[in-house]
Structure 1
């Protein structure tokens, strides 16, 4: 996406951007007065177009005299896009829409949208938008942009001045992100060229399962101190005959097919009635799912790690899982995730590790190496992983960013800012048993900031996706990676991947409160999952199991051999802030605040 506002008239921008300000908000109820006109205001200039004109074009493809005035400034492709956007239906119930819009996150989104979409009297469109969205969702015609316009209680006024400011901010973010990703790719290529003498075709293929079979068991947990009950799935490896790389079949009540080609045993642990199997000294890897996901979202990764001899524990975080979203959309919950989840998630992992230690104590055959544990997390789980790795919450940075938000296109800030409701004493959630961490699409910029991330001292890998619109790669992963001071760090950048590309298909019933369309997930997610599996095995073997034979896999040269279109991948182990700043801040912008303080400091240091 690219905008060139100096060369384009603002009339053309109106038509190409109309759907942008309505469609992303998911919507209430019966207005006697509906919008008949849309006024577009830019300083002293004002134009208007009737809703009937838009409806005629949307339903019949007719460009009347009104619309023709605007159509002259845009391409036929943009007009067709407008037609699709006007009629695109979002299938959400009015209860779900209402519940979301009344959450703190939904309220903040509406306030921002209300700066652009206003009432005829130039007041914020906050209440009018909320009413129109819920009414449209309740209407048989459904939640479409056209129906939202019909439900808007007054004529609509679009503040083009504010729209252009936000569009320029988006253009700058995209341009800077492209420069940063290109820099990572260039650095990865240079590093790969410096590696000589390794024939990667002779190394074991980490895309294949390892030599261990595994059993899957479910542990029921109840932390009475927090009045919090949750479950965790355990994937426990079992040694095969020497030299065997085949997955085995175990005895169990119910045999399940392993997703990586092998078979595993599934059992339930109740009152510590353990199976008679030796689980000796296997390092523990915890996988923390993201917001709205569940413990089945990364089965593919858990099974792959178990096949390489890691005991994998996957907790279900009850306050921020798929069930929480279902509760929100059915009217049983008031928030997407309570602020307490910023603390409860790391404490879930701590309690789980405590329970595994207790299991070691009560059963001699159950000797997992809990003192050498690692964590992998995605999105909110990525935050969880970094918090347990030693990053401290940075309330000062949060207040600064949330009280004066500049990065309006960073949706993850809506969630990060909810942490301001926490007690200021809840800033250190580190667990010393965690010896390595992988954070996939984490949000970090404000909740930790530079000061919080610099406290991490263990090996860390961060995975970023160039097409992530939830936790954008540049502010949430790339710049934070440059802030890290730990010597053992890696950044895996996946081109064209989205925030959801690495998430597997959930095996839970009714797993998706809002099924995601293919275009949101992005192209070929199986490739992204394969990258994550390879990185996770190599990283955990190197830093958790302390096996140096796997270090060559953590190189730019190896990553080049597995890179596959359309999701090209790059790996770097350093990214100097000065180099990043010089690349990003070369983008010329009208406002200096688009080049954040961290970049400017980096440029001064260069």
Structure 2
């Protein structure tokens, strides 16, 4: 028996039309003819609407009879939203979107979408969808939802069970994220009550610049064993009398070391030498070259191997230069590694996490796995030869992984191999590595005594001040995001990362008061966007909350 009758399905189709409009606005074969009908199936029930009726409605608001049976079930306000969505033009270069959709990751996205948006009869519609998108983007009227429907090469069929299941799954993820934010606040408050009371107003403000002047250099290096040349941005503190602790930083996908200079300079001003290598197969240059037709993919899949090796090579390079350039002061037996996003994967890999190909394959094959952007990146590792890769560098003794890509490529078995102190950082509004997917469960898998998790409310993965100025405004206007000030995010990160590395690289117990929940409470006073911070003490509560949420929402995942 179907869970809905035909009237209920018509209502759901009405809602789906709105959802489809929103979804397509966020997203090569040429069509042989225009699509005539948009079909919606749910089990044996098949509903349809003429694409021509959608076009008439988009032009002047006229509602033909076939469209009326769906639109009458939603409010006039929502009808206008739907009409606006049909007409809204997405300014995007047709050649660039063509090159992205022809990349491995682009095709992966299309084929996943094509399971629910199919050709008439049910055949995967991903390639046809690509044709509709590219053809629309190349036309003078531009990329709109209506144009995509018109340029689809055959009648487009919406697989109701799959689409509705995806919508329900997404709603559960949003619900889980909201619950996570609330729970993290609660656990932070509970841990803070057990912390030794501290009057932070009487202590140094470690978010401020340190006492050392910083000399910045750019080294050009070559790892001849891999025939790999790249640069390293080096931030060296001046006038340090004793040993100098070292931190290696790994940048995110399609970015560069320079994008993180402020935070790296802050660490250096407090006495750390910080070295940030360029990852040449996954940096902004490689990404731009993909759009120029010089690279096939968004990043080189061998970066899963090369990135961790870059970190070890940088430590080797510092060992070679230690006597001649640093008078032997660099402490290279106890190195810290920090990384953001893909760099978070890199940091965890050199700390001991191992790729679990079997678990990754199972995860990538799941029906709704494509709804997580991070897993699409991780699934590219399935193109690697399947062997036991060993990236752990014994010189690495503490890691900070910010917004890390990690859960599905490592799995429980891989994460549990980490035995050194780990600080994870997350943003509650991160669409690229959402905390409910990528950090909550992995935090419970970490087995060490010294594990910490910081969650910044409102943080959305990237620093928009380092991107094109129009991106933030576009997201603000279309999705109505309200972002925390970048200065606030930076202050949070500066405080907790400095404390973490001072304690776990320098064994400086003077910084222990900053590495606890009551410091997060202090920093979050009167702030709209709070910082939550938990330790191993709250790990069991997190695990229990995850299990309860799964049980109450009928979520079954093999790994947990």
TM-score (norm 1): 0.84
CA distance, structure 2, for counterparts of residue 423 and residue 580 of structure 1: 35
| Contact persistence 2:378–2:409 (CA under 8 A) | yes
SS at match of 1:331: coil
Name 2:102's counterpart in structure 1.
102
CA distance, structure 2, for counterparts of residue 216 and residue 137 of structure 1: 43
Q: CA deviation at 1:20?
A: 4.4
**Which shifted more, 6-15 or 548-557?**
6-15
What CA deviation, in whole Å up to 9, does each residue of 1:313-337 have, x standing for no partner? 1111110011111111111111112
Name 1:220's counterpart in structure 2.
220
Shift in CA distance, 280/351, structure 1 to aligned 2, threshold 3 Å: farther
SS at match of 2:329: strand
SS at match of 1:143: coil
Q: CA deviation at 1:96?
A: 1.8
Name 1:356's counterpart in structure 2.
318
Name 2:501's counterpart in structure 1.
540
Q: CA deviation at 1:522?
A: 5.5
**Which shifted more, 474-483 or 44-53?**
44-53
SS at match of 1:456: coil
CA distance, structure 2, for counterparts of residue 555 and residue 230 of structure 1: 38
Q: CA deviation at 1:384?
A: 0.3
CA distance, structure 1, for counterparts of residue 289 and residue 110 of structure 2: 22
CA distance, structure 1, for counterparts of residue 320 and residue 313 of structure 2: 11
SS at match of 2:243: strand
Does residue 374 of the first structure (1) align with residue 321 of the second (2)? no
Name 2:262's counterpart in structure 1.
300
CA RMSD of aligned residues (A): 2.7
Does residue 330 of the first structure (1) align with residue 332 of the second (2)? no
| Contact persistence 2:187–2:538 (CA under 8 A) | no
**Which shifted more, 295-304 or 358-367?**
358-367
Aligned counterpart for 1:553 among listed residues 499, 505, 514 = 514
| Contact persistence 1:373–1:433 (CA under 8 A) | yes
Does residue 312 of the first structure (1) align with residue 314 of the second (2)? no
Name 1:603's counterpart in structure 2.
none
Name 1:531's counterpart in structure 2.
492
Name 2:26's counterpart in structure 1.
24
CA distance, structure 1, for counterparts of residue 158 and residue 469 of structure 2: 32
Q: CA deviation at 1:576?
A: 5.8
Aligned residue pairs total 549
CA distance, structure 1, for counterparts of residue 225 and residue 507 of structure 2: 35
CA distance, structure 2, for counterparts of residue 120 and residue 408 of structure 1: 22
What CA deviation, in whole Å up to 9, does each residue of 1:246-291 have, x standing for no partner? xxxxxxxxxxxxxxxxxxxxxxxxxxxxxxxx78622111111111
Q: CA deviation at 1:155?
A: 2.2
CA distance, structure 1, for counterparts of residue 388 and residue 59 of structure 2: 54
Does residue 345 of the first structure (1) align with residue 307 of the second (2)? yes
Q: CA deviation at 1:227?
A: 0.8
Q: CA deviation at 1:586?
A: 3.5
SS at match of 1:571: strand
Shift in CA distance, 407/551, structure 1 to aligned 2, threshold 3 Å: same
Aligned counterpart for 2:421 among listed residues 459, 483, 489 = 459
What CA deviation, in whole Å up to 9, does each residue of 1:144-182 have, x standing for no partner? 212211211122221222111111111222222332332
Name 1:13's counterpart in structure 2.
15
Does residue 113 of the first structure (1) align with residue 113 of the second (2)? yes
CA distance, structure 2, for counterparts of residue 588 and residue 477 of structure 1: 16
Q: CA deviation at 1:31?
A: 3.4
Give structure 1 stretches of 5+ with no counterpart: 240-277, 600-606
Shift in CA distance, 19/416, structure 1 to aligned 2, threshold 3 Å: same
Name 1:44's counterpart in structure 2.
44
SS at match of 2:430: coil
CA distance, structure 2, for counterparts of residue 306 and residue 328 of structure 1: 34
Q: CA deviation at 1:54?
A: 3.0
Shift in CA distance, 119/424, structure 1 to aligned 2, threshold 3 Å: closer
Name 1:321's counterpart in structure 2.
283
CA distance, structure 2, for counterparts of residue 539 and residue 34 of structure 1: 59
Q: CA deviation at 1:95?
A: 2.5
Q: CA deviation at 1:348?
A: 0.9
**Which shifted more, 301-310 or 171-180?**
171-180
CA distance, structure 2, for counterparts of residue 432 and residue 579 of structure 1: 32
SS at match of 2:369: coil
Shift in CA distance, 210/588, structure 1 to aligned 2, threshold 3 Å: closer
Shift in CA distance, 85/371, structure 1 to aligned 2, threshold 3 Å: farther
Name 2:450's counterpart in structure 1.
488
Q: CA deviation at 1:195?
A: 2.9
Shift in CA distance, 328/47, structure 1 to aligned 2, threshold 3 Å: same
SS at match of 1:312: strand
- After superposition, where does 1:553-592 map in structure 2 within 5 Å? 553-563=514-524, 565-574=527-536, 579-587=541-549, 592=554
- After superposition, where does 1:85-484 map in structure 2 within 5 Å? 85-239=85-239, 281-363=243-325, 365=327, 367-484=329-446
CA distance, structure 1, for counterparts of residue 74 and residue 82 of structure 2: 11
SS at match of 1:234: strand
Shift in CA distance, 23/467, structure 1 to aligned 2, threshold 3 Å: same
SS at match of 2:26: coil
Name 1:72's counterpart in structure 2.
72
TM-score (norm 2): 0.91
Q: CA deviation at 1:48?
A: 2.3
| Contact persistence 1:373–1:434 (CA under 8 A) | yes
SS at match of 1:447: helix
| Contact persistence 2:464–2:471 (CA under 8 A) | no
CA distance, structure 1, for counterparts of residue 367 and residue 187 of structure 2: 32
What CA deviation, in whole Å up to 9, does each residue of 1:367-415 have, x standing for no partner? 3222222111111000001111111111221122224455332121111
